[in-house]
Amino acid sequence: MSHFLYLVRHGQQEHAEHGIDDGPLSERGRAQAHAIGRRLATVPFSQSFTSPLDRALETAAIIDSYTQGPSVTPTNLLFDCVPSSGEDAPAHYDSFFSGVNPADIEAGQAQMNDAISTFFTRSREDKHTLLVTHNFVIGYFVRELLGLPEWNWLTLGTGNTALTVLRRRSIRPDELKLFGDLSHLEPSERTGVNWFPDL
């Protein structure tokens, strides 16, 4: 038996390029959310959760209009955060962490510890859980599944409404089924990862 976790990054936020912390989706972000909603329409979700930030709430509401199962529930465990880099992060990341309040990093790590213990679970029957959240949170879940060093969540970036699917198995090894998949979007609709190549 397996617990499938479907992690979806929120759609493109309006005016995100201006450094605004939160806000509604842009027109493109709403189109992205409809596309991932259509893609997930036949998944038999047993539970659905979202970050309480506006860009995630709006994305989740659009997805919810397509999917079956219980309505999406906001939770602070999926809030946008900066977890710890651990003890052995490459010096390359020092400048990033120097710009973050240490108290916020401590809070982010505590949040991720709680999120992992709450959602990163096994099941005695097939179970499908939707999590609409943020880039760093998704990276942390994938790092946990793969057993990578603490800091590796920094290297696992995904685009807006990218789909990542983790499979927690009751007996056999866990699986990373999809990571950052954007096949529901045309190349011109893909945003949120500045290194993404033109295809």
Q: Is 17 in contact with 43 (CB distance < 8 Å)?
A: no
CA distance 121 to 1: 12
Distances, alpha carbon 44 to alpha carbons 17, 40, 129, 135, in Å: 35, 9, 9, 24
pTM of the model: 0.93
Distances, alpha carbon 168 to alpha carbons 2, 121, 146, 199, in Å: 6, 7, 11, 32
Using DSSP, state whether 104 is helix, strand or coil.
Answer: helix
Summarize pLDDT for 29-41 with one digit per residue, the tens.
Answer: 999 999 999 999 9
Q: Where are the beta strands (DSSP E) in 16-116?
A: 47-50, 73-74
Give the gyration radius of the chain's Cα atoms. Answer: 16
What pLDDT, on a 0 to 100 scale, did the predictor assign at position 138? Answer: 98
The model's confidence at residue 124, banded by pLDDT at 50, 70 and 90, is confident
Domain residue extents for the chain: 2-189
Summarize pLDDT for 149-181 with one digit per residue, the tens.
Answer: 999 999 999 999 999 999 999 888 999 999 999
Domain 2-189: which CATH class?
Answer: alpha beta
The model's confidence at residue 16, banded by pLDDT at 50, 70 and 90, is low
